[in-house]
Structure 1
């Protein structure tokens, strides 16, 4: 059966439509197909851009920063040597309170009714001193008495009458009677005085007999008075000997300084930190511990850091609550594998003292400073050239330029730089610190 012309046109239209649809699908599919090279190009990371910062002009300061505990400086244990006492070493008064101050020349304790006077000195009191004593402990005593204005005479290592009198003034100033000499010494003085009196009587008698003999000679009697004159000479010699013996006895009976009544401490005044005795108790070893009257802060550092520090450096103590106090490094001492840096405040108000007492505080010690504003770049901007010198990359007009520099002080992540040779570098230049 032959199709009509109308039917053939419908078939042709349908085939054309299918072809058109197929072509569209093919074009669409083709647009989604990419080569491996194109895919890689599309997924690659974008080209890295340079990270720059401007050259700054600022003052740099290298610092040592740490934390330290506040304490009273130089704690020591105070002992009283009681071996010279003939009675038990009973504490009878003047027991100090914790926090009180030990002052030079004042009693810090009373034992058996007698004072224990504190003096500044290095040598401990290890024996009773009395007229005739010699040695370095006597020299230390006289130096102390002289410093206190008590006039010990010539400052030497001999305990003489001037020393005794100065010791008497020391006790008078402290509010106590001076120590009494040994009873045997005072008895020796009494005996010597009697010997002097007897020698004087003997001399008076001898002189009277000589006068009688001379008067008799004038009256025509015996003119030989040699015997009577010899008796006078002997009596005068005996009197001189007796007087010399009295002087020696009185010298030996001068004011002593008992070993149990003086305590030497390296420096005074000091603060009482702890008391080991009580009134009515017996002294046995340490009676109290004391430290300096001034508060200090001790920071522990390693050997490398300690080498950068020295006594006298300025420091700052951060007491918190927005309070900072100027201070100085007092000393640096080795303590095992570390070093103790002792920092003392220059001055403290009552409120600052309260904040610092027993606190742990931040300590800042400037070590070096540029002394003003200098060109500075982040440390990350520095690199080394083939010659070993330092350099930085400066971005100018879209291009980087290597600028050789001399590096100075580094602090807080920045380094002082100076352009080397004919190189140019100014504040605000953009330096590359990364990509």
Structure 2
């Protein structure tokens, strides 16, 4: 997790301003900042009228979302497995155990028993709905496993290449999941499997951005928040926070001190990428996530290094007159962002020339 601060530190501004030109300015008896005795500064900038926007920027990674692990339901040897990166959906064969295919079907009820003629229940209805969606006919898609259902299953098994179609759907033949996905981290062909051995992981098919940030910033990235995702080549893509959750960090901020990991907020960001630009970057690529957190319209701004630290506190600007003479004018500061600061004060207007650090 990495975060780059965008708020300028007042303490640093004071030191930079004071150190760059030795500026610790007093006021005269009228309370006005005293005029400078120095020549026209070598470095100047112009007061500008416009919109100033402060942003937060975090490092994140491209990916395909939180994976779902698919495990073997029966012992055997892994003889085939779908390649990493393969998109799978209803009816896709995920892998083979002892050359018997294990098929992905869609549904909420897990496969917890063998299904044969005479079985009844929600799992039967779910199986028959999948068979119908795959184009098999001759049975009624209800919650009863009939002889007609068995005939349709035999046809399906034959199409899958099952060695001896028997019309029975074994508990280890099917994996029911809520949706299809993309194969990730498949086990090696030839592996010896036991019930519960992880075989593949399935992620979402769409590319997303995974962001971890401090829980204190969680309110900034609520679901539905619009952000900008910046790819390594500088390409900017629109993104929307889809979900957030609190999770344990992978490592402690200071393991030597506490040995305990800090909690983090994990956000998943969907990309609006009509040109598929993010797809050219591999999963795991580091990207930036930018979020506007404050904005001021129609304000006067100057570079931060134009600020001078006044002896009695606060800040001033060295205003350069048309004839080259200078005077220091006290100003009030507002929003700091993008190396500039919002200012206001007597005589400060759009186009006024001011000195900057390096004078």
Indicate the TM-score class for this superposition, using the shorter chain for normalisation: 0.5 to 0.7
Mark the CA change 1:178 to 1:369 in structure 2 (over 3 Å): closer, same or farther: farther
Supply the distance in 2 between the matched residues of 1:401 and 1:56 (Cα, whole angstroms): 16
Please give the secondary structure, in 1, of the residue aligned with 2:291. strand
Give 1:374's aligned residue: 298
Highest relative contact order (Cα 8 Å, sep 6+), 1 or 2?
2
Check conservation: 1:392, 1:431, Cα contact below 8 A: no
- The offset of 1:268, in angstroms, is 1.4
Supply the distance in 2 between the matched residues of 1:114 and 1:159 (Cα, whole angstroms): 22
- The offset of 1:117, in angstroms, is 0.7
1:128-184 deviations in whole A, cap 9, x for unaligned? Answer: 12344333433443454455455697665444566546545544554547841xxxx
- The offset of 1:271, in angstroms, is 1.7
Q: Which among 281, 284, 289 is matched to residue 358 of structure 1?
A: 284
1:170-208 deviations in whole A, cap 9, x for unaligned? Answer: 44554547841xxxxxxxxxxxxxxxxxxxxxxxxxxxx
Supply the distance in 1 between the matched residues of 2:320 and 2:193 (Cα, whole angstroms): 86
Aligned pairs, number: 294
Please give the secondary structure, in 2, of the residue aligned with 1:275. coil
Check conservation: 2:54, 2:293, Cα contact below 8 A: yes
Give 1:289's aligned residue: 200
Structure with max Cα Rg: 1
Give 1:135's aligned residue: 121
Check conservation: 1:327, 1:343, Cα contact below 8 A: no
Give 1:427's aligned residue: 350
Stretch deviating more after TM superposition (91-100 or 127-136): 91-100
Mark the CA change 1:403 to 1:92 in structure 2 (over 3 Å): closer, same or farther: closer
Give 1:274's aligned residue: 186
Please give the secondary structure, in 2, of the residue aligned with 1:126. coil
What is the root-mean-square deviation of aligned Cα atoms in Å? 4.8
1:244-285 deviations in whole A, cap 9, x for unaligned? Answer: xxxxxxxxxxx3321111013343132231315517x45443
- The offset of 1:366, in angstroms, is 2.6
- The offset of 1:379, in angstroms, is 10
Give 2:80's aligned residue: 94
Q: Which among 58, 72, 80 is matched to residue 66 of structure 1?
A: 58
Supply the distance in 1 between the matched residues of 2:318 and 2:73 (Cα, whole angstroms): 76
Q: Residues 14-413 of structure 1: matches in 2 within 5 Å?
A: 54-82=46-74, 89-91=75-77, 93-145=79-131, 147-148=133-134, 150=136, 157-160=143-146, 163-164=149-150, 167-168=153-154, 170-171=156-157, 174-176=160-162, 179-180=165-166, 255-278=167-190, 281-292=192-203, 293-312=205-224, 313-319=226-232, 322-328=233-239, 329-336=241-248, 337-347=263-273, 353=279, 355-359=281-285, 361-368=286-293, 374-377=298-301, 411-412=337-338
Relative to the length of structure 1, the TM-score reads 0.52
Mark the CA change 1:155 to 1:413 in structure 2 (over 3 Å): closer, same or farther: farther
Please give the secondary structure, in 1, of the residue aligned with 2:269. strand
Check conservation: 2:89, 2:179, Cα contact below 8 A: no
Check conservation: 2:245, 2:267, Cα contact below 8 A: yes
Please give the secondary structure, in 1, of the residue aligned with 2:172. helix
Which has the larger helix fraction?
A: 1
- The offset of 1:122, in angstroms, is 4.0
Mark the CA change 1:135 to 1:363 in structure 2 (over 3 Å): closer, same or farther: farther
Supply the distance in 2 between the matched residues of 1:349 and 1:378 (Cα, whole angstroms): 38
Which has the larger strand fraction?
A: 2
Supply the distance in 2 between the matched residues of 1:344 and 1:393 (Cα, whole angstroms): 44
Mark the CA change 1:342 to 1:417 in structure 2 (over 3 Å): closer, same or farther: farther
Check conservation: 1:295, 1:345, Cα contact below 8 A: yes
Check conservation: 1:296, 1:342, Cα contact below 8 A: yes
- The offset of 1:77, in angstroms, is 2.3
Stretch deviating more after TM superposition (337-346 or 160-169): 160-169
Q: Which runs of 5+ in 1 are unaligned?
A: 1-44, 83-88, 181-254, 382-390
